[in-house]
Amino acid sequence: MNVVLIGSGGREHALALALSKSKKLSQLFILPGNPGTKPLGKNVELNVSDYQSILEFCLSQKIDLVVIGPEQPLVDGLADLLRKNDIAVFGPSKEAARIEGEKSFAKNLMNENNIPTARYKIFQLNQKKDLLNYLLEQNYPIVIKADGIAAGKGVVIPEDLETATHTVRNFFDNSIFGPAGEKVVIEEFLTGQEVSLFIITDGDEYVLLPAAQDHKRIGDGDTGKNTGGMGAYAPAPILTPKILDEVKSKIVEPTLEALKKKGAKYNGCLYCGLILTEEGPKVIEFNCRFGDPETQVVLPLLSGDLLELFYSTAVGKISQDSVAYNGGSAVCVVAASEGYPDGYEKGKLITGIENALAQFPQSIIYHAGTKEKEGTLLTNGGRVLGVTSVIKDNDLKQCKQMAYDTLSYISFDGIYYRTDISDKVGK
């Protein structure tokens, strides 16, 4: 099977590694890929925003399946373009991808179908005065979300009225998220532990992958600004079998059914960001693709054939027995550039990866923001590497130790990482 994987981050490195192990794979092309995906297939320097060029490449290479990693091409409708040309795609249609591309769409969908989520209200750019008055009446903290895509950073949790007012002005007056922030969703602040669940679905049937827990804030103890994710671990024991049954009956199945009724039957990975409240599990957000860095810890915990799962899903008849949880555990610690999620420098020399893997061959170093220049590996993003330990036993304490021991061999100027990834399950 000839496969195209679209994307260049840590998530795509994890996907490429898992797909490369399939016996069904003939050729794997990664568009554009990164230095980490280079040994796993063929990196193709192609602008992933040039959808016509992607289509022409797929047709010329007789591609059997396209796996779309990032959200933007899905929200833009790349999956629709490829399907119109008889190319199988793992990834939702433009209409279905609105579940991430428009938070107001997702909130209204949940409200209309009694899917548990935070109370909310939606305001547009021309309703700024009404929004500022609304803020006067709220109990704090609250949650302010940009309606559109903001690279995982479009959520602010103001602790007081002054911060909330400043946030609204940043969104509306200073356009810090551009058009994505011209409509906002104001939500009540929910208390509880968060957990990420990947739902692989053809729109009718589905497979649930092991639950993971992300660490969004930049600092230890979940302090500081939101980021794209500073680390993750799996499996997440807080999502017990009993709670999972409730999630399936009250969230997963009603959401898939609601999308079908809207003519937006879902195909691909539906990311469900949950919070476990005293009232039960509720949806914080949906994403139309795999989460990053949760993918880096979930995929290594699967036995079976991921390509078979993806292809069967893409053609509308999901193979529910193609993968299974292997009983292990994984911890990913993101090594970031100093200054992230704000400004940071690129082009710093990265050393120690070979030594780290020699000492800990079970670990995986996922490339997220790297580049090669004349055979030298350099930093090229805010989140640079995902240092991931994988062990055969469900022992997150041991797994965490291995992750940080692996990371101790790696360095670049300004390296920054959290030291408490997976501590929520006990040190």
Q: pLDDT digit string (tens) for 75-116?
A: 999 999 999 999 999 999 999 999 999 999 999 999 999 999
* Extended strands (E) in 177-322: 183-188, 193-201, 206-208, 213-214, 217-219, 223-226, 231-234, 268-277, 280-287, 302-304
**In the prediction, which pLDDT does 32 show?**
98
**In the prediction, which pLDDT does 293 show?**
97
**Separate counts of helices (H) and strands (E) for the chain:** 14, 25
| AA letter at 389 | S
- Could you give the CA distance from residue 67 to residue 77 in angstroms, rounded to a whole number? 13
Domains of the chain and any CATH numbers:
2-84 (3.40.50.20), 119-188 (3.30.1490.20), 191-325 (3.30.470.20), 329-425 (3.90.600.10)
Q: Residue ranges of the chain with pLDDT lower than 70?
A: 151-152, 426-427
**In the prediction, which pLDDT does 153 show?**
72
**In the prediction, which pLDDT does 425 show?**
86
* Extended strands (E) in 245-399: 268-277, 280-287, 302-304, 323-325, 329-337, 364-367, 370-373, 376-379, 383-391
- Count CA within 13 A, CB hemisphere, residue 183: 10
**In the prediction, which pLDDT does 381 show?**
97
- Tell which residue, 171, 172, 249, has the closest CA to residue 206: 249
Non-local (6+) Cβ contacts of 261 within 8 A are none
Q: Is the entire prediction scored with pTM above 0.85?
A: yes
**In the prediction, which pLDDT does 302 show?**
98
**In the prediction, which pLDDT does 150 show?**
81
Place of tokens 């939606």: 122
- Could you give the CA distance from residue 7 to residue 110 in angstroms, rounded to a whole number? 29
Query: Would you call 320 helix, strand, or coil by DSSP?
Result: coil
**In the prediction, which pLDDT does 152 show?**
65
**In the prediction, which pLDDT does 146 show?**
94
Q: What is the biggest distance separating any 2 CA atoms in the chain, rounded to whole angstroms?
A: 60
**In the prediction, which pLDDT does 244 show?**
98
- Count CA within 13 A, CB hemisphere, residue 118: 25
